[in-house]
């Protein structure tokens, strides 16, 4: 069996889908099977694309584009996407592949049987959280892509139930396979923590939020809760935001610049993968107030690093943390403020939730995810799966 995996999402600074694709592919290679896996577009084209995307050294942000510039950019983007799809189809046709895995929601139409990964249904359930062009793309292509897929993989049982309910799919066409976490997420030595804290300009104590800042992440509630704390508490343990400003984040940016920053909050922007384990390990607690998730990786990464988690009651987050977090309604600003107060004043307040968190997090491995995904591949192609019962439609 030869499988082509679309790895375009791994070519730029990685967020959720890019991380998942890269880690799953790496684990698939590590299974040691006789089957072969190829990550499109391959090493040499990837380097060329990454050089093209990288801004020139010392370059400064440009002024906002004019209407004509925006139109031209849209046209060029459309041409580039069409060329990319055509190239992918050609590679899929002439590369002697047996199966195509699209890890980013909507497959490209090819002659190959396909497996598609759906990470969440936020574009379908909450279109107001997404750019108009993304919503339009999903409206035009998502349902059709599901129909094209030989099988659909989702990252949590919650998303599986949502997908079945929204689209009326047969239950045996959708399999829930939890994401894994990288082995580097484990408690870090104090010296490593202090080195990263100095590098990022952080104080010895801080509360942490991780993820791209966009509407569904609900960072506004967290900033308001932090601003409502007494000055001495904010000074002794500031709130640190690790994640770039995403789409429609102007309200959060304005609140941060006008108030939260002056009250001690710190915005780091995008943090390198290599620094994340120490950033987690050094935090007093991770705060994760998201309205909706398909999985929710940062809480699990924090647990793996031995940390304490305060998370929202979003269904997939509850599924993933498995009782090892203090859960709050995402709109309960007073509750989030009180949780911050308790973390600052009583460092061991979350020990009951944290107990067993490392062992729980270690159950989520990319090797297990790769093994179960590989089983789906083989069954889609009608091949025997040694030592395994039928996995299609099974929950993770």
Q: Would you list the domain boundaries of the chain?
A: 2-50+82-180+365-380, 190-361
Complete DSSP assignment for 343-369? HHH-TTTTHHHHTTHHHHHTT--HHHH
- The percent of residues in the chain predicted with pLDDT above 70, rounded, is 87
Cα(348)–Cα(284) distance, integer angstroms:
10
Global pTM reads: 0.87
Per-residue pLDDT at 72 exceeds 60 = no
Per-residue pLDDT at 379 exceeds 50 = yes
CATH fold match for the domains 2-50+82-180+365-380 and 190-361? yes
Backbone angles phi, psi at 326, to 5 degrees: -80, 125
| Residue-wise pLDDT tens digits, 39-57 | 999 754 444 444 444 444 4
| Residue-wise pLDDT tens digits, 181-190 | 999 999 999 9
Edge-first strand listing for the sheet containing 114-118: 36-40, 2-6, 99-102, 114-118, 151-154, 174-176
In the chain the first and final C-alpha atoms are separated, in Å, by 24
Cα(24)–Cα(106) distance, integer angstroms:
18
In CATH, what class is 2-50+82-180+365-380?
Answer: alpha beta
* 357: Cβ contacts below 8 Å, ≥ 6 apart: 303, 304, 306, 307, 309, 324
Tokens of 82: 């069409």
- Give alpha helix (H) positions in the chain: 16-29, 43-53, 67-94, 122-125, 132-148, 157-167, 190-200, 219-227, 231-236, 250-255, 276-281, 297-304, 315-321, 333-345, 351-354, 357-361, 366-380
In CATH, what class is 190-361?
Answer: alpha beta
Cβ atoms 302, 283 nearer than 8 A: yes
Helix (H, G, I), strand (E, B) or coil at 35: coil
Q: Shortest CA distance to 24 belongs to which of 39, 2, 46, 12?
A: 39
Per-residue pLDDT at 163 exceeds 60 = yes
Look up tokens 């960072």; give the residue: 219
Cβ atoms 380, 113 nearer than 8 A: yes
Q: What is the pLDDT of residue 247?
A: 87
Q: What is the pLDDT of residue 213?
A: 95
């Amino acid at each position: 069996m030869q499988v082509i995996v679309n790895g375009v999402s791994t070519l730029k600074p990685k967020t959720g889908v890019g991380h998942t694709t890269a880690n799953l592919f790496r684990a698939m290679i590590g299974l040691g099977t006789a089957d072969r896996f190829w990550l499109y577009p391959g090493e040499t084209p990837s380097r060329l694309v990454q050089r093209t995307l990288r801004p020139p050294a010392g370059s400064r942000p440009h002024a906002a584009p004019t209407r004509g510039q925006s139109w031209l950019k849209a046209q060029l983007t459309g041409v580039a996407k069409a060329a990319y799809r055509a190239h992918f189809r050609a590679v899929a046709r002439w590369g002697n592949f047996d199966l195509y895995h699209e890890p980013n929601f909507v497959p490209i139409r090819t002659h190959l049987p396909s497996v598609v990964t759906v990470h969440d249904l936020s574009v379908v359930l909450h279109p107001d959280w997404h750019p108009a062009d993304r919503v339009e793309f999903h409206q035009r292509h998502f349902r059709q892509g599901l129909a094209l897929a030989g099988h659909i993989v989702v990252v949590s049982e919650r998303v599986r139930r949502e997908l079945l309910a929204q689209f009326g799919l047969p239950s045996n066409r959708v399999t829930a396979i939890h994401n894994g976490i990288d082995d580097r997420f484990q408690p870090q030595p104090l010296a490593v923590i202090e080195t990263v804290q100095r590098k990022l300009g952080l104080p010895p104590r801080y509360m942490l939020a991780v993820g791209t800042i966009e509407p569904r992440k609900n960072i506004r509630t967290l900033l308001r809760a932090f601003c409502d704390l007494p000055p001495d508490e904010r000074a002794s343990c500031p709130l640190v935001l690790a994640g770039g400003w995403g789409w429609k984040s102007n309200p959060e940016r304005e609140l941060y610049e006008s108030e939260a920053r002056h009250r001690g909050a710190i915005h780091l922007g995008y943090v390198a993968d290599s620094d994340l384990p120490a950033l987690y390990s050094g935090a007093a607690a991770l705060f994760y107030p998201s309205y909706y998730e398909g999985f929710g990786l940062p809480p699990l990464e924090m647990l793996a690093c031995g940390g304490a988690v305060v998370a929202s009651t979003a269904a997939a987050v509850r599924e993933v943390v498995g009782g090892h977090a203090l859960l709050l309604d995402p709109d309960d600003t007073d509750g989030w403020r009180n949780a911050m107060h308790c973390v600052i004043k009583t460092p061991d307040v979350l020990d009951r939730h944290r107990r067993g968190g490392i062992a729980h997090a270690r159950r989520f491995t990319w090797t297990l995810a790769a093994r179960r995904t590989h089983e789906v591949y083989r069954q889609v192609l009608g091949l025997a799966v040694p030592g395994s019962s039928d996995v299609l439609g099974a929950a993770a």
